[in-house]
Amino acid sequence: MAKYTLIASRDPFDSKDVANYYDLAGDLQKDGNEVTLFLVQNGVFAARKSTASKLVADLADRGVAVLADSFSLRERGITTERLSETVKSAELDIVVDHMAEGRKVIWH
């Protein structure tokens, strides 16, 4: 079993290929890997309670850990009260920790 951290920086309302990237996360999880989806920059818009949050909620239900960069959230005025229940706020340092532990990291 491999460990993956997928970093999503694109706005799901602006970029149609975001859903394909989320599918990759789900497929990796389904194949028995440990997967974290880390939302950064405009990717954090999917962390809000909205139609796009269903996509990340589905991933979380399948066992993918979904995190949102706390700085990106603050920069866009997204408070923790506005986050989907399936998304947790996290510091960017977690990506460095994941790299140090040998996870495969993919940035989109």
pLDDT of residue 52: 65
Rounded mean pLDDT of 36-49? 94
Domains of the chain: 3-107 (3.40.1260.10)
Higher pLDDT, 3 or 16: 3
Measured CA to CA, the distance from residue 23 to residue 100 in angstroms comes to 25
- Kindly report the number of other CB atoms within 10 A of residue 63's CB atom: 12
Q: Which residues contact 28 (CB under 8 A, 6 or more apart)?
A: 2, 4, 6, 35
pLDDT of residue 22: 93
For residue 35, give the nearest of 13, 6, 8 by alpha carbon. Answer: 6
pTM of the model: 0.93
Place of tokens 């040998």: 102
pLDDT in tens, 53-108: 788 889 999 999 999 999 999 999 999 899 988 999 999 999 999 999 999 999 98
Amino acid occupying residue 47: A
Q: Which residues contact 24 (CB under 8 A, 6 or more apart)?
A: 6, 106
Higher pLDDT, 21 or 16: 21
